[in-house]
Amino acid sequence: MPRHDFKSPRLFVDAPLTAGASVALDRDQANYLGNVLRLTSGARILAFNGRDGEWDAEIAGRKRPDSLTMLSQTRPQDSLGDITYVFALLKHARLDYVVQKAVEMGVAKLQPVTTRFTQVSRVNLERMSANVIEAAEQCGILSLAAVAAPIPLERYLGERDARRLLVFCDEAAEIADPLAALRSAKAADSGIDVLIGPEGGFAEEERAVLRALPHTLRLALGPRILRADTAGVAALALVQAALGDWAGPGLGGGAWPG
């Protein structure tokens, strides 16, 4: 696998990328390259679109950057392991953090839900998508996590594919070795959902519904109570270490141990 280049600036562009293709920059991108990074025509950056891999690109433009010319592909497109991060809505700053860290941890989809104790009723999906792109740009990620609109937890549970493993993180669960519990679980070929509740925890009726679902692992995250945003990072790290692409080569891209 080609090594990541973390020295060159990376930019997400929503356009097909092929050798010789010219991609117009929007105003914010032109300002970022020209006024923030002080790059001019002829400078080189890395470009990606989440579909066509990563490309070595040359900046073009007379007075300021206005387009990119694709020179050669530096890395082929990859795919993400089939992990959906399901989480109760949080306030803006902490929601930004959750989205960025989930992307860094390699999730393929972000699914916000509302629960009985959720204190936030609205979410800015454009802001969530922008955070996905920013995290991918900064961390050398090629595939972008999908962003879904928030739905009630009850609806999510009723519509999800029951063949998927549901990892239900619950502060009221008996404290045990979470890695051992995950390793003993069987991850279906159809993927894994990691569910984190709100700051106030799940209501008893929600917990009862979750515990009754088939193919569900109720998991404690250690002896300390974690904030919802911290719990998400901890849970995703455990899942990746036990069942995901931290467990060894060849487990990414939707392939899971049976």
What letter would DSSP give residue 208?
Answer: H
CA of residue 195 relative to chain centroid, distance: 14
In a domain, residue 248? The reply is no
DSSP 153-196: HHHHHHHS-TTSEEEEE-TTSPP--HHHHHHHSPPPTT-EEEEE
Q: Of 31, 51, 75, at which residue does a domain stop?
A: 75
Collapsing DSSP to helix, strand or coil, 30 comes out as helix
pTM for the structure as a whole = 0.89
In a domain, residue 140? The reply is yes
In a domain, residue 114? The reply is yes
| Residues 66-96: tens digit of each pLDDT | 999 999 999 999 999 999 999 999 887 889 9
Check whether residue 136 and residue 180 sit in a common domain. yes
Check whether residue 211 and residue 138 sit in a common domain. yes
Check whether residue 61 and residue 96 sit in a common domain. no
Residue 189: CB atoms within 10 A of its CB come to 12
Check whether residue 223 and residue 100 sit in a common domain. yes
What's the pLDDT score for residue 220? 86
Residue 218: CB atoms within 10 A of its CB come to 17
Check whether residue 219 and residue 96 sit in a common domain. yes
In a domain, residue 186? The reply is yes
Structure tokens at 189: 């070929």
What letter would DSSP give residue 34?
Answer: I
Q: Which parts of the chain sit beneath pLDDT 70?
A: 1-3, 186-189, 248-258
What's the pLDDT score for residue 188? 57
> Over pLDDT 90: what percentage of the chain?
66
Q: Are 253 and 244 in contact (CB under 8 A)?
A: no
- Which stretch of DSSP H or E encloses residue 63? none
Strands 216-219 and 165-169: parallel
In a domain, residue 3? The reply is no
What's the pLDDT score for residue 236? 96
| Residues 117-144: tens digit of each pLDDT | 888 878 899 999 999 999 999 999 999 9
Q: Are 34 and 65 in contact (CB under 8 A)?
A: yes
What's the pLDDT score for residue 250? 39
CATH number at residue 92: 3.40.1280.10
Tally of structural domains, the chain: 2
Check whether residue 151 and residue 236 sit in a common domain. yes
Q: Please, what is the angle between helix 228-242 and helix 92-104, to 10°?
A: 10
Residue 63: CB atoms within 10 A of its CB come to 8
| Domain assignment of residue 42, given as a range | 10-75
What's the pLDDT score for residue 138? 93
CATH number at residue 55: 2.40.240.20
